[in-house]
Structure 1
């Protein structure tokens, strides 16, 4: 029959001999992105331009392996490059609430941290020893003896003056008492009371006069004690400088090229000297550390620790960090707090960096869906990229919700590339709704879902299979298994000239095929194992399809696969269950009558038809008008419906089938029920490609096989869909045996010939179609209808038409 496709057109196969290998373990593994030249060029551009805002959004549907590909691409790009700086936080001795940030070459942060810890440990051990040394104790005793002698001399001199003034001195806890003397003997209280009033007054006057001598003497004592304290402080400072000097000097010599480190070491030395009581044996802190409450002695010494928030000493290149859970604290770090004696305490050692700190100097990869689930993270990321610096602070503080005083570490300069990975829709939404997004993510890297079938891409595909099997320790594939994988890839791509780049789906099939090969106890995966994996995947998901097929077989769903009927045709639809899609035939009928209502879509009237389906039905009116209404008004009242349709109808892929049912009803010529139709049409009568062609053909084939193949059954598709055919082997074999057929048409006229066996007929020079053709019969029917309408005097629109117009 005309327009029938040969079996070799129904599915593309791959020759195992073209792979130049017998098994995939003979192939060199692949370590680059394949089939994504456009995306790779975009990535190179975005990563090489260092100007502000040239961050990257990697766009592509799920399953294309873009996240894995991006990680591998960035790791390869980062390998061998000089690692970025370490980042540390230091205690700020001038303002403890604002820790200082320090950048050091990779690896030196940990070295400084260790050196500082060793230095303080040595200081804590050496200072008590120095204070307990014989030399220090002797000098301290000598200083104390000097003070004792000074005090003794001062009090002897004061006592002599007191006796001359007629008083004796008595030292008490309340101070120095002056007791009157009579004949060099102290007066008792009773004797003092027995004196005359004038005598008592005179004694009081003399006592008052002598108080100035006492005050002067006490000043001298205090001055002596002050001198002693200064001498002791000088001795302590001398000891502390002696103990810390060589330790600090050694580190200054080591880190002399870093002025900030040298300054910090000097500040540490001065702070140690200023807090010697903390280092004395069994000493208790004389003053509390600044933030935020009094704490134990051990916590005091944490001020001298170096907090390395980013350590790049172990890296062999630039950092590549993927943050799968981009919460605010995971991205931007946090200032932790500890509970001490019922109060919250924090210090410089409790500052923690986030993934943005870890990636600084390199690359940070974030799934956009996860980032948008944490809206505060998205806002903070934009702020950090805009300012080119990142500050560690509590989320509540950054939003202005917290008034509690806490640390405010210095910001860290940012120099990194952020790569967001997500679907195209989110990119479009952000680009249109967020003005900052386009300024910060100037590069879009689009990942395609398909790539061309050519020698290079096939070779890369085989190498990808080798890489997967090697990395995951799967059984390698032989050449026939590879050919079957490539055929399945073309099936997923829905194109004989394309291969899918949804590598996650391909990888799953290979993993399952390896399992079946292991179950079979063979060394290599062969084609039957791949086919088994494909079939098992279908079986796990096609329960609903089997239920529907059973309902067709039992006659619950009405579908004709034999004979011919007027105004009735088998249309095809695709039902998608997310992980699985299958074709389902539906009976489409057309009913005619007198009137001017035109072509009425019952699905639309029942609010079960979508806008695209409605558009397809309206196009039918345009086709009929141009084809048959050049010499007469189009007088028609037709009803189109999907029988037993309960889930709604959307799409225009059935518009061709609806038109054929309508032409059959108008011409009175029956349509072969063993043929199902899919494809849309335009107003010029040309057929147009549709999606899901393989599932639709296989769905009708399964129904025909269940009811019994007669050799007259098949599916008619648009010729533009031939390139999309990747049918199952059982369908191809049935075609090869002449039990099932596929027809490809370009026009409505070709399709009606296949369905009815009659020629469509072309309009002659006289404006008429050849007698006996389908177009002749349709034109005749429409002419007769127009005449009948005039005979009945239907000059105005029909009631139904009036309703439609309103």
Structure 2
């Protein structure tokens, strides 16, 4: 009788569920078994409310809940999802990604059941996308191998870490594997991609590589997006909003980070930090909105926290411990510009470059290279300028010269070819005996045709020489010579722009060696005439005359040597 009553009461709701899930044979089979079990064990429903004596030393079966086997563990709920799931897991570890089986401590035992099987991010992303940080995947000792197995077999197995490392298997739950259809997206820097490529399975499993640019075009649409991004930060975090001037300064800072007037940086974490710092300064000063003044203060404070090394260099320059002239003219000496990159800050640094030439046939000697203090790019630049000299002045006669180039007071090495134009100017000055203006600093690489090529760090280089000239006193004659291609890269501070507009400081852009040399010497470089000589009185004519003089001296010495050799040979024969 009890069995019939139980079945009569249970069949209708079971039938409704079977109708709802008729598409799944596994659910239908499960519901049939539930109906059978309830019918056969109907006594538990009558005894459920009866009081039972508890033994404190006996572990209650299934936590004392006889109905736990009828519960449903809702593993993943996509009821409110629209479209394919896209999961971004910020806390990447084995259990958060692949799920786990939890246990309860009861007296001296641990227990578990199917309701304590928990889903991981990979199950939540099933049918969609899972975004992970490559760094976190690599640094977790169990993640990478488990992820490869999941992607290879397209199945997800829920298993605690310890299970695969036990010497003696233990009795525990063994959940059924779940069919998997998920796209994994790994985000990381190029170094982690390179590390992963050493695994032969990586390219098989991750076939698509996408590079994210660190800058974007500075157009109206992207500026609007930039402003919207800043506004969203203010809304989400409750900080002060920005007026037009404040937004303008943030956009300028974005272009400075991108290193180009026509670009905006996509390093949004840097932008976010400046937004928060500017708001904090405005709030401290009692302002209700952030303006350009507050942004400038935030940028100045940010620079101050990172520019200790730059200040030390500046101090040594002002005390003449690092010798740089910003006035007068000197033969064979020019002010070059380099960039020093620290962990969070880059700054320019003026440096003295000198050249000395004399009779000989050794060509151009790079002292840094000879002392193993020159990088490959710098050595290439010196060899390139030697090629220019040969092309320009040694078409009919050998280049009879020995020359030495060096970065004075350089003890840490030098690399890059951005000083090759400055080195060439110093070399030509020494050959022509024409002094170079020390109130100008130079940056730019060259090719063998004498064309000036663009370089990096133009903004930082200009600012470094301006700061030095400003500290020593602006004369209205000082300035910097840069490649023409770098003009649109300049994002200079307001102080320099004001000085340039007031003609207290100058920025010259050049295309060729000749243009730069004319600025530094105040003389015409000259052109080659029909007789093969350069224009009379020009810098190149003076170089040509010096090389001719060297050639004649070498020829005379060679003739004297030959005569002496012949005389010695004849005297030996007579004997």
Both proteins in one fold, TM over 0.5: yes
Cα displacement string for residues 716-747 of structure 1 (whole angstroms, at most 9, x for unaligned residues): 00111111111111111111222111111111
Unaligned 5+ runs, structure 1 = 1-237, 286-293, 797-806
Q: 1:257 aligns with which of 10, 16, 20?
A: 20
Q: How far 1:375 moved relative to its partner?
A: 5.0
Q: 1:389 aligns with which of 155, 163, 168?
A: 155
Q: Which has the higher contact order (CA 8 A, sep 6+)?
A: 1
Q: Judging changes above 3 Å, is the alpha-carbon distance between structure 1 residues 245 and 509 closer, same or farther for their aligned structure 2 residues? A: same
Equivalent pair of 1:248/1:266 in contact (CA under 8 Å):
no
Cα displacement string for residues 119-152 of structure 1 (whole angstroms, at most 9, x for unaligned residues): xxxxxxxxxxxxxxxxxxxxxxxxxxxxxxxxxx
Q: What is the rounded CA distance, in whole Å, between the counterparts of 1:607 and 1:515 in structure 2?
A: 49
State the secondary structure of the residue aligned to 1:511: helix
Q: What is the rounded CA distance, in whole Å, between the counterparts of 1:698 and 1:589 in structure 2?
A: 22
State the secondary structure of the residue aligned to 1:309: coil
Aligned to 1:524: 289
Does residue 407 of structure 2 align to residue 642 of structure 1?
yes
Q: 1:555 aligns with which of 297, 320, 331?
A: 320
Does residue 552 of structure 2 align to residue 790 of structure 1?
no
State the secondary structure of the residue aligned to 1:386: helix
Q: How far 1:247 moved relative to its partner?
A: 3.5
Q: 1:350 aligns with which of 112, 116, 125?
A: 116
State the secondary structure of the residue aligned to 1:308: coil
Q: How far 1:276 moved relative to its partner?
A: 7.8
State the secondary structure of the residue aligned to 1:574: strand
Does residue 199 of structure 2 align to residue 421 of structure 1?
no
Higher mean C-alpha deviation, range 512-521 or range 272-281? 272-281
Does residue 176 of structure 2 align to residue 410 of structure 1?
yes
Q: How far 1:507 moved relative to its partner?
A: 2.5
Equivalent pair of 1:396/1:402 in contact (CA under 8 Å):
no
Q: How far 1:703 moved relative to its partner?
A: 0.7
Q: What is the rounded CA distance, in whole Å, between the counterparts of 2:364 and 2:167 in structure 1?
A: 64
RMSD over equivalenced CA pairs, Å:
2.8
Equivalent pair of 2:326/2:439 in contact (CA under 8 Å):
yes
Q: How far 1:283 moved relative to its partner?
A: 8.3
Q: What is the rounded CA distance, in whole Å, between the counterparts of 1:263 and 1:245 in structure 2?
A: 19
Aligned to 2:426: 661
Aligned to 2:569: none
Q: What is the rounded CA distance, in whole Å, between the counterparts of 1:394 and 1:769 in structure 2?
A: 83
State the secondary structure of the residue aligned to 2:314: helix
Q: How far 1:773 moved relative to its partner?
A: 1.3
TM-score normalised per structure 1: 0.64
Q: What is the rounded CA distance, in whole Å, between the counterparts of 2:298 and 2:360 in structure 1?
A: 57
Unaligned 5+ runs, structure 2 = 563-575
Q: What is the rounded CA distance, in whole Å, between the counterparts of 2:203 and 2:294 in structure 1?
A: 48
Q: How far 1:706 moved relative to its partner?
A: 1.1
Q: How far 1:696 moved relative to its partner?
A: 0.3
Higher mean C-alpha deviation, range 693-702 or range 518-527? 518-527
Alignment of 1:53-64 (within 5 A): none
Equivalent pair of 2:3/2:40 in contact (CA under 8 Å):
no
Aligned to 1:151: none
Q: Judging changes above 3 Å, is the alpha-carbon distance between structure 1 residues 464 and 283 closer, same or farther for their aligned structure 2 residues? A: closer
Q: How far 1:484 moved relative to its partner?
A: 2.2
State the secondary structure of the residue aligned to 2:350: strand
Higher mean C-alpha deviation, range 269-278 or range 774-783? 269-278
Does residue 361 of structure 2 align to residue 591 of structure 1?
no
Aligned to 1:712: 477
Q: What is the rounded CA distance, in whole Å, between the counterparts of 2:11 and 2:304 in structure 1?
A: 74
Q: What is the rounded CA distance, in whole Å, between the counterparts of 1:401 and 1:571 in structure 2?
A: 68
Does residue 416 of structure 2 align to residue 651 of structure 1?
yes
Q: What is the rounded CA distance, in whole Å, between the counterparts of 1:398 and 1:498 in structure 2?
A: 52
Alignment of 1:618-637 (within 5 A): 618-637=383-402
Q: What is the rounded CA distance, in whole Å, between the counterparts of 2:452 and 2:14 in structure 1?
A: 83
Q: 2:534 aligns with which of 749, 769, 776?
A: 769
Equivalent pair of 1:278/1:297 in contact (CA under 8 Å):
no
Q: What is the rounded CA distance, in whole Å, between the counterparts of 1:365 and 1:776 in structure 2?
A: 66
Aligned to 2:310: 545
Q: What is the rounded CA distance, in whole Å, between the counterparts of 2:439 and 2:103 in structure 1?
A: 76
Q: How far 1:531 moved relative to its partner?
A: 1.7
Q: Judging changes above 3 Å, is the alpha-carbon distance between structure 1 residues 560 and 276 closer, same or farther for their aligned structure 2 residues? A: same
Aligned to 2:128: 362
Aligned to 2:75: 309
Q: How far 1:443 moved relative to its partner?
A: 3.5
Equivalent pair of 1:248/1:265 in contact (CA under 8 Å):
no
Q: What is the rounded CA distance, in whole Å, between the counterparts of 2:471 and 2:243 in structure 1?
A: 35
Equivalent pair of 2:10/2:35 in contact (CA under 8 Å):
no
Aligned to 1:330: 96
Aligned to 2:85: 319
Aligned to 1:297: 61
Q: What is the rounded CA distance, in whole Å, between the counterparts of 1:296 and 1:442 in structure 2?
A: 52
Alignment of 1:650-729 (within 5 A): 650-729=415-494
State the secondary structure of the residue aligned to 1:433: coil
Q: What is the rounded CA distance, in whole Å, between the counterparts of 2:384 and 2:198 in structure 1?
A: 35
Does residue 234 of structure 2 align to residue 469 of structure 1?
yes
Q: 1:600 aligns with which of 358, 365, 379?
A: 365
Cα displacement string for residues 498-519 of structure 1 (whole angstroms, at most 9, x for unaligned residues): 2222222222222222222223
Aligned to 2:571: none
Cα displacement string for residues 369-426 of structure 1 (whole angstroms, at most 9, x for unaligned residues): 1112125322322332232221112335457877444332111122333222222443
Equivalent pair of 2:6/2:42 in contact (CA under 8 Å):
no
State the secondary structure of the residue aligned to 2:352: strand
State the secondary structure of the residue aligned to 1:528: helix
State the secondary structure of the residue aligned to 2:409: coil
Equivalent pair of 1:337/1:345 in contact (CA under 8 Å):
yes
Equivalent pair of 1:388/1:414 in contact (CA under 8 Å):
yes
TM-score normalised per structure 2: 0.88
Equivalent pair of 2:324/2:352 in contact (CA under 8 Å):
yes
Q: How far 1:338 moved relative to its partner?
A: 4.3
Q: 2:10 aligns with which of 216, 222, 247?
A: 247
Q: What is the rounded CA distance, in whole Å, between the counterparts of 1:273 and 1:299 in structure 2?
A: 23
Aligned to 1:739: 504
Q: What is the rounded CA distance, in whole Å, between the counterparts of 1:698 and 1:551 in structure 2?
A: 17
Equivalent pair of 2:89/2:131 in contact (CA under 8 Å):
yes
Choose 1 or 2 for highest CA Rg. Answer: 1
Q: Judging changes above 3 Å, is the alpha-carbon distance between structure 1 residues 658 and 464 closer, same or farther for their aligned structure 2 residues? A: same
Equivalent pair of 2:357/2:431 in contact (CA under 8 Å):
yes
